[in-house]
Chains A and B, each alone.
Chain A
Amino acid sequence: MTFSLAQLFAMGFVYLVTLFGSAYATEKGWLPKSFTGHPFIRVISLGVFAGAIAFYGSIGLAAEYGSSYLLYFFGSSAAFLVAPLLLYPLGRIALAHNLGSLADVFAFRYPAPWVGGLISLLMLFGVLPLIALQIHAVSGTVHLLNQEISEDGLALIFCVTMTVFAILFGARHASTKDKHEGLIVALGLESIFKLVAFIAVALYAVYGVFGGFYELNTWLYDNQVLTDHIVVELSEGPSRSILLMFFAAAIALPHMFHILLTENDDASLIVASRWAFPLYMLGLSLCVPPILWAATKLGVSASPEFHAISLGLASGNREITFLAFIAGFAAASGVLIVITLALASMSLHHVLLPLYRVREGTDFYSFLLSMRRLLIVAIIAAAYGLYRLLRQDQSLISLGIVTFVAVLQFLPGLLSVFYWRNANRVGLLAGLVAGFVVWFLMLLFPLLSDIVNATRFDSPLLFEPNPGVWHMAAMSSLLANSFAFILFSVFTEPTQEELKAAAVCMSDSPIQPYQGELLARSVTEMKSSMDQAIGETASAQQMQMALSELPFARDERRPFALLKIRNQVESNLSSLVGQTIAHGIVSGFLPFKKDELGQNTTESVHNMESRFEDYQSQLTGLAAELDNLRRYHRQILQDLPTAVFSVDTQLKVLTWNRAMEELTGIPAATIVDYKLENLSSEWYHLLYDFIITDSIDRLKMEFAVRAEPRLLYLHKSLVGISRNEGDTVVVIEDVTDEQILERQLMHNQRLASIGQLAAGVAHEIGNPITGIACLAQNLRIETEQPELLEISTEILQQTERVSGILESLVNFAHGGNLDTKRPSVPVDILQCVNEAINLLNLSTDAKGVSYRNNCVSGLFVLGDGQRLLQVFVNVLANARDASNENDEIVVKGLLVDELVQIEITDQGHGISADDLRQMFEPFYTTKDPGQGTGLGLAIVTSIIDEHHGSIFAEPGGSKGTCITIKLPSFDREEIQLTSASNSLFSS
């Protein structure tokens, strides 16, 4: 059974139209986003790994080495099964820093201009046989289907078609940050198709050839010897080598990195791939034995590698043959396209761009795209050239081994990226050179010499190394590589840049080390520097992009923010021009400040804290506990009721706590990390003078805070921790309130002393006065002489006056003690004021003064009615004494904000401002000597204080004085509930 050229073209055409169509429809948005962006499609696109080796080579392996074919599938799956060892750290670094290829990763970890270029070139040479292998597989299957067709011509058409597809759908954007969704969807569909087709062929083998699983098992049982004797058992060494090679290949091969980390920026897909990829490989590997056994049963004589196609041919089933051919075609084309794209990007970023200087005025983005497309053409052309040299029955596995051993050489370097801090570029170079020299001598040189021989003598190429050679080549090259890598790394010192990069890459170190402080002090200065490197337009675009991805404004000036912007610019540039050039540009044009010794300046505490904040969720174990402790202490400092701030030796503010914010009204965010001179001038002069004056550690001074005079107490202390030697901590206490309280206390103590004195004086004078009064009474009784009677009356009047004064003194002395015998009851203010007015009206000193009580009814306070009556009598009596004849005194009472407010206004001579301040002091009076003791208002104040109220005086309108008393109101509802309805004045 053969297929005509037209049929083969038709088959290929249908497949390619589907491939192109799905990619085009995705790019155009014709397919629903829920389908094109579905995680299943994105994860299954990793099936691109299963190229011609999986589809054809694995059956050849199974035919020759029995169950060892599983090593290919399991080895590659193992890389995903133990993802936390290598894949997750790789994903973390690649996603965080936009690293688009393995060369970028190495260039990031070992910052040197040549690292990326070396990795790219070695990868290019190492992987070229694998690309040629894909072309060879397609031409081989075509040869099987129709031996009259020119395979080379068909291979050329295949290469041209794949080149067009790669350019159209894989090289549309200059930056790797922009993803090619069409390519991913096409590869996802291709992977699904490959798996379905392979399963269909296997099911055909079971049911079509054997008649079912039972028959298959019976045949296996009957033909155990037949299946066993043709198998060569792989010894321990080669098995392990194969396993290791495919383990490394699944991570380091460019097309896997490209799909997993370049065309994907979703970490959850990397996590899902951990089980999805092994499951996919498991599905493929399950199909291998039935196909092999079915071909054995049918006695297929062709190369076992093409049994998937031979099976349909031998059994005469055109549909299965067609399906197998298209599936193999899809597998080969997928690998070819993605490897080419990945290699083109690597070569462009790390080989071409560092060597080629772009002319001024050239559109940089168009230039990048053009160069990438040219490289795609060149790589496929080179692979086609190598394919042309291969013999028709060249074993796919033997050719593939050349690539897999080459890729294995990247494993030591890759492991060291995440697990060895002291690994350096010298060690990497030595290891790669040693490994690739062995690889060259044991695999590439024999392949090339076979090619040369075949060309010179026009003899067929014969490159068929046995498993022993694979093993020797893989292990000796890996050992030489590792030995040289370790030896040179141990005996040479890593650079500071390498140590910093290592700290970032180490999987157990999530916190970015301190980089330094930028020389540029603003975004504008950063852009000006970048203008010189990449031109004004590109520079503006890059700065804009970085700012849009970070929460910073264009006027940003804070050092830590500028550092983040710099890192974002480097990351974005890396996806555009590769890590080597991006690092070179950013290092060269956005340098760090250096101190006198040429070292980076030390990190500010704020910057350090900002970095720690970023990584809080990632800290575990002791680090997390220490971080919690740090946060606790930090919070204590923040919530301290005392204002605290600290400055470094350059007077840059390091910390500024909440109390400091409240005291100064300056938010921490606007001053931390800035120089002290950015404060308002008043605060700056106060703090600056205090900090720089070495002789003063404490200072107490009055300072206007928001125009209000406050008494501040400043302390300062030098920080003694080695890293921050010379920093100054300043504590500011606002002691204004304490000062007022202190004065109040002293005043009260003075009043208490006066009270005690008054009580003593009253007691000591009271007794003789009583005696004098008695004697005067006796004198009045015993004499009838008018002079003596007048004298005795005068004595009695004077003693009565003295007794009155003494009574006032005793009242004042007892003023602070609330009489416990008198319970607090609701007092009706209206009634109380009326009572006071009635009492005063009885006095002979009324002078025709009238009283008007304008208190509203229903005003109640809780207290002692007699004492409150005394208050009103005293205040009204003072008002009367200050009034002129026939004046009117108005008493107004109302409820204001839950307080009963009583205003007593007279029309008298008024009172001066000085007197207003002192009139409530004891023994202060403006009355003539003998007219007043100066204790009335002091007693009033004392009683009002007992009732939790306040009293003050102010000028009363045009003339006179207004005394205002405020007392807490008593709720009316409570009045009804209490038995106090029997009012105070009812008694």
Chain B
Amino acid sequence: MLIERLITFIVLGFFIFVADFSSWWQYSDLSEWYRNYLVWIGLIIICYIASTRLDARRLSADEETRQQQPPEPSSSEPPK
């Protein structure tokens, strides 16, 4: 959960300070133009780590539970 908060915090922070980032990029040394992408790559790596299999299980839990066998047997004939 900590890693999720970190990602959300970074993206939200970027949204708030987007103009400042733009200015920084705009007026920084163009010969190092590629360094803007380093932050982005870092974020992608964090997301890769965060995308554990737990996410997939959580996401498809509804689907799985619909497929799984319930404890009750399928026969529904009441005893007579």
List chain A positions with a Cβ less than 8 A from chain B.
Answer: 66-68, 70-71, 74, 77-78, 80-85, 88, 91-92, 95-96, 217-218, 220-221, 224, 227-228, 231, 233-236, 239-240, 243-244, 265-268, 270-272, 274-275, 278-279, 282, 285-286, 289, 510, 549-553, 555-558, 561, 564, 568, 610, 613-615, 617-618, 666-667, 669-671, 674, 678-680
Interchain CB contact under 8 A, B30 and A220: yes
Q: Tell yes or no: B2 within 8 A of A by CB.
A: no
Chain A residue at minimum C-beta to C-beta distance from B39: A74
Question: Which residues of A have CB within 8 Å of B15?
Answer: 78, 240, 243-244
Task: Give which listed residue, B31, B34, B51, B76, contacts A286 with CB less than 8 A.
Answer: B34
Question: Which residues of A have CB within 8 Å of B57?
Answer: 267, 617
Compute how far the CA of A288 lies from the CA of B6 in the bound complex, rounded to whole angstroms.
29
A-B contact pairs, 15 of them (CB 8 A): A83-B47, A88-B55, A88-B58, A88-B59, A95-B60, A221-B30, A239-B18, A271-B53, A275-B44, A275-B45, A510-B62, A551-B69, A669-B73, A671-B79, A678-B80
Compute how far the CA of A549 lies from the CA of B69 in the bound complex, rounded to whole angstroms.
11
Compute how far the CA of A68 lies from the CA of B23 in the bound complex, rounded to whole angstroms.
10
Compute how far the CA of A96 lies from the CA of B60 in the bound complex, rounded to whole angstroms.
8
Interchain CB contact under 8 A, A553 and B31: no
Question: Which residues of A have CB within 8 Å of B80?
Answer: 678, 680
Contact A70 to B70, CB < 8 A, known contacts A81-B47, A220-B30: no
Interface residues of B in 25-80 (CB under 8 A from A): 25-26, 29-31, 33-34, 36-37, 40-41, 43-45, 47-48, 50-51, 53, 55-63, 65-67, 69-80
Interchain CB contact under 8 A, B79 and A670: yes
Task: Give which listed residue, A77, A614, A671, contacts B78 with CB less than 8 A.
Answer: A671
Interchain CB contact under 8 A, A678 and B71: no
Question: Which residues of B have CB within 8 Å of A669?
Answer: 71-73, 75
Task: Give which listed residue, A88, A275, A615, contacts B47 with CB less than 8 A.
Answer: A275
Compute how far the CA of A564 lies from the CA of B67 in the bound complex, rounded to whole angstroms.
11
Interchain CB contact under 8 A, B33 and A220: yes
Interchain CB contact under 8 A, A268 and B18: no
Interchain CB contact under 8 A, A82 and B8: yes
Further pairs besides A267-B59, A275-B48, A278-B47: 20, Cβ < 8 Å = A67-B36, A77-B40, A81-B7, A91-B59, A221-B30, A234-B19, A240-B15, A244-B15, A271-B56, A275-B47, A289-B33, A549-B66, A553-B76, A555-B75, A561-B72, A564-B66, A613-B70, A617-B61, A666-B79, A670-B77
List chain B positions with a Cβ less than 8 A from chain A.
Answer: 4, 7-8, 11, 14-15, 18-19, 22-23, 25-26, 29-31, 33-34, 36-37, 40-41, 43-45, 47-48, 50-51, 53, 55-63, 65-67, 69-80
Chain B nearest Cβ from A441, distance in angstroms: 27
Task: Give which listed residue, A74, A549, A556, A680, contacts B76 with CB less than 8 A.
Answer: A556
Contact A92 to B75, CB < 8 A, known contacts A68-B22, A81-B43: no
Compute how far the CA of A707 lies from the CA of B26 in the bound complex, rounded to whole angstroms.
93
Question: Which residues of B have CB within 8 Å of A270?
Answer: 56, 59
Chain A nearest Cβ from B40, distance in angstroms: 6
Interchain CB contact under 8 A, B78 and A674: yes
Contact A553 to B75, CB < 8 A, known contacts A274-B51, A680-B80: yes
Chain B nearest Cβ from A366, distance in angstroms: 29
Interchain CB contact under 8 A, A618 and B58: yes
Chain B nearest Cβ from A59, distance in angstroms: 15
Chain A nearest Cβ from B35, distance in angstroms: 12
Question: Which residues of A have CB within 8 Å of B65?
Answer: 614-615
Interchain CB contact under 8 A, B79 and A679: yes
Question: Which residues of B have CB within 8 Å of A286?
Answer: 34, 37
Compute how far the CA of A595 lies from the CA of B20 in the bound complex, rounded to whole angstroms.
62
Interchain CB contact under 8 A, B79 and A227: no
